[in-house]
Structure 1
Amino acid sequence: MKDRRRACLVVPTNRECVATLAEVIAEAEYAAGHFDVDVHLLILDSSEHFAEHAAALSAARNVWHLDDARQREFLRRVVGAADVTKPDLLLDLMQPKALSYGACTNRAFLTAAALGCDTVHRRDSDLYFQTYAGEKVFPIHAELSALGRPARDVVATEDRLDDSRRDLPVAMAGASFVGSMSVDIEDIRDHDAYYDLVSLWAAPGSTDEEKRALVDESFTGSAPFDGDHTILSVVDPMRVDMHNISFHGLQERVPLPPATDTIGSDYFLIHVADKAGLPGLLHNRHIVNFHTAERKTDAGFLAYQLRFAKFILSMYYLHFVYQRMTTDAPADIAALVRESTWQPREPNETTADLMEAAYRRLGGRFTGVADLIRERRDTLLIEARRDMDDYALLIDAWAALIAAARETPV
C-alpha cells in the first residue's frame, strides 16, 4: 500500500505570533481534511515566547515545535552523519548567531526531509489569511493541488507552459500578498530619494525605463482574492513572495543563501525555478502581510534598514548568478556563485556610496542609517562577498546533508 504523501507547513519565528499560529493551525487542519495528505506543522522558534507558542499549539496535531537548542541538536546530528568538509562551519551556516532568512528556511528543508515530507510550505510569523465568502483563503489548497504532480496532469485557469516542460513535476507553487509592503519602506514612497534607493537593486546594465518599472513594482502586493485563478507556467520571480511559497524536490537539490542580516536572502530558489524552466503554479491565494510594532522602534528600524542595505549590496553578486544560471544542477550553480565573487569590488563600492547618499537625502531618522552605512561600509562590502563564498560551500554539502537528514530523527 502506497504511503500517504506528507507535507511540511513551516513557520520560522523570532517574535510573538500566537495569532498567526492559530491561522496556520487552521490551514494545516484544512489541508488534512481536503487532501489525502499528512500535514506536519513545523515551528522553528527562536523567540522569547516559546511557552506562549507551545500553549497555542497544544491542541494541534503533528506539531514539531523546536527551540534553538533542539534545532541545534538536530543539526549537529545531521552534520555529524554527513560526509562533509568543514562540519563546524556548516553547522554555523545552518544556525548562525545573527538573523538569517535563508538559514532558517534551510533548517526547515532539512527537518522536512527528516520527517519524510516531499513538499515544504513556508509561511511567515507576520501574516494572516484573507477571508472570502465567509471562508479563510488558504494558500495550501492551490499548492497541494499541483506540487509534485506531472505538469500535464495539473488543471489551471490558464496554461502557459511550454510543451517541452509538461512531463516534469511541478516544483513550486506560490502567490504574493495584500496589505503592507513586503519591505518596510512605505513611509518614503513619495520622497524624491525613494527611486534613488530602490533602483539600486536593479541588475547591472538596466535602462532608466527598466529601473523605473522595477521601482514601481518592487515590494508591492496584489489584488484581494475574488475567486481562484491559477496559472501553470514557469513563474516570474516578481510575482511571488517567500512568505507564501511551497516547493517540491527543488529544496532538496539546492539550499538558500545563509547570508546574515540580509533581507531577500531566501528568494534564491524562486530564481532557480525560473532560470531552469521548472514548472510552477502561480495562484492568487495571497496572504495578508503586516508589520510588527518592534520594527518601528529606533533599534528595530536601524536593524531592518541595515538588512535592506545588505540586500542591495548582495544583489551585485546575485545578479551575476541570475544572469548566467540555466539549470538547477547544484554543481553548476555553486560554480557560478564562486565566480560571482571574482568580480572587482569597485562597482559595489559605488553602490554603497549611492545608497548612503540616498538615505541621507531621505533625512530624519534615515540620516542615522546613512551614518551607519558610512561607518560600516567596508565591513558590509566584505560580508556581502563572504556570504557568497559560504553559500558555495553549503551548496557543495547540501546533497549529503539532505541524505543524512532523511536518516536522522527529529
Structure 2
Amino acid sequence: MLPRTDAHPASFTRLPVLLGALLFLSTRAAWAQPAPTPLEDNRTITLGYIDIAYELGGIIDPSLLPGGSSSARPNWFTFAPHASQAGGKGMYGTALARHFLAAARLQSSLSLTNALDRLGLDGVPRQRLQELSLQLIAQGLTVDAATALSVMTTSLNIEVLADPRTLLTTAARMGALYWSAPRSSPLDKTEVVVITLERTLHEGNLAIFNDIGGSARLYLDWRRDASGPITPERVLTEFTLVDAFAAEARQAYDFAVAHAEDTPRATRMDLLFPGMHWKSLLVAAFAVYEEARLAPTPARRDALIAMGTNFVAWREQRDQAQPVFTPTGSPTDEVSRAGVLQMLTPLLMTDFGTVRWTYADYANSQPDRDGNPLTPRPCEYSWADFWDRWNGILFAFDAAYARPTELWVMPEPLMDPLG
C-alpha cells in the first residue's frame, strides 16, 4: 500500500470549554441558538478528538508535540479523528442528497444527464453515479430519486462499483430500501432513505464521543489535577467512571499486562470477561496506556497500547455503535438502519492520515463465505453486524500499526455544504 499524498494536516485546536466533561451536543437549548446540523456536530467532535489524541498521545510518548507525530503505536484516540471524519463524509453525502432533493422539488431534472450536471459532477465520480442511477431507474425509480440516492455515495469508495457484481448488488439493495420507505411520492420516499443514513451516522458519532471522548476528558482532567506521579495503580484505585467497577477494571488490566505480547492478540472480550460491564474496560484502558508509558522497550510499549486500544474499541462498538445501528423498534419514519448499512458496506473507507483502509480490502482478504463466484466478497458482509464490523476494525488497526507516524496527518474537519 503506497502512502497517499492528498491528505492535509488540520490546524491544532484546543477545545477546553467544549470538552469540559461529557459533551451532550444534541441537547442544546433550542432558545439559545439553532440546533447544530449533523455536520456541525461532526466538526466539533473531530476537533475534540484531535485535541484528546495529542494530549493522551503526549502522555504515552512525551516527545509528541501538538501538530507533530509519534512513532509509538497509535492509541484509540489517534484513530478517532479519522473515524469521525469518515462518518462526517457520509453525512456530507446525505447533505448533498438533501440539497439535491430540495432543488428537485422546485424543478424536476429533464434527464439523468441534466441531474448529474446540476450536481457539478465529472470524471470517475460522475461515471460511477451514472451507472448506479441507471440501475435504479431500471427498477422504476424516477431520475431525481435515483440521482439523490446515488449521490449519498460520493464520499465513499465508489471505485468498487466498477465491479458489475457489486454495482448490481448495491443497486438492488438501494432500490429495495426505496420501495420499503413510507410515504408515497418518489422524492419523499427517497428522503426517508437519506434521513435514515444521516441519523444513523449522526447518532453514532454523538453516542461514541459523549461516552468515549467524555470519559477521556474526565480522565485527562483527573490526571492533570492529581498530585504526585501517576501510576497504573493510582488509575485503578483513584479514577472512576459511572457504571465502571474497580474490580472489573483491575481484572482487565491484569490480563492486558500479562498477555499484551500474545500472538494472536486477544480480541474476544466477551469470552475473556463474561458478564463484565464494558465501561470498566475504559478505566482499564487508561491504566494500560499508563503502563505503556512506563514500558522498558518500544516493543513492550506498543503491545500494551494495542491491548488498551482493543479495550476502548470493544466498549465503543458493543455499547455505543451497536444500539444505534440495530435499534430496538425502528422509527416509523425510517427504513431499516441495518439495511442501509449493509447496502453501503462494500463502499466503506477511512483515511487514517495517509493510510487508506477500505472494507473491500478487508473482505477480499477473507475466505469466500458462500462459494458463489457471482457474489463479490464485500457484499457478503454488513457493517450493521457486530462481528463483521469488529473484525474489519481490527484489520484496519493492524494495517495502521505498520505506519504509525502517518496517522498524525490529522483531517481537516468538514464544513456543512448547506451552511
With the shorter chain as reference, the TM-score category is under 0.3
More helix per residue: 1 or 2?
2
Structure 2 length as normaliser, TM-score? 0.25
More strand per residue: 1 or 2?
1
Structure 1 length as normaliser, TM-score? 0.26
Structure number with the bigger relative contact order (C-alpha 8 A, sep ≥ 6) is 2
